[in-house]
Amino acid sequence: MKTMLLVLAMLAGAPAWAQAPEWVKATVVRSEPARKLVTLDHEAIKSLPMEAMTMPFKVKDAALLAKVKAGDKVRFRVALQDGEPVVTAIEAAP
């Protein structure tokens, strides 16, 4: 029982990014792995929320940008970290 309560307490305290956020469609405008930045022309992001726009995003890891380049149609996941949107996943649109 103690273990169960501990698990529940951990789940309740889990940060927002632990819940898989939605995939959002976008077109890559500029990819800058050296700066851990990617500029995306993105659709509306319900989870933030944010309307469709073109803007630069920080990426969690520069390696995420290894397979994307300007002009690519992609889908990505974004989460708030310290109140700032950060791309946590990005891949070619299916």
Q: Indicate whether 52 belongs to the interface with Cu ion (CB under 5 A).
A: no
As given in the structure block, the two tokens for residue 21 are 């956020």
Gap between the terminal Cα atoms of the chain: 44
Q: Indicate whether 48 belongs to the interface with Cu ion (CB under 5 A).
A: no
Residue 50: CB atoms within 10 A of its CB come to 15
Q: Which stretch binds Cu ion (CB under 5 A): 8-16, 25-33, 44-52, 62-70?
A: 44-52
Interface residue with Cu ion among 50, 62, 80, 89 (CB under 5 A) is 50
Q: Would you tell me which residues interact with Cu ion (CB under 5 A)?
A: 50, 53, 55
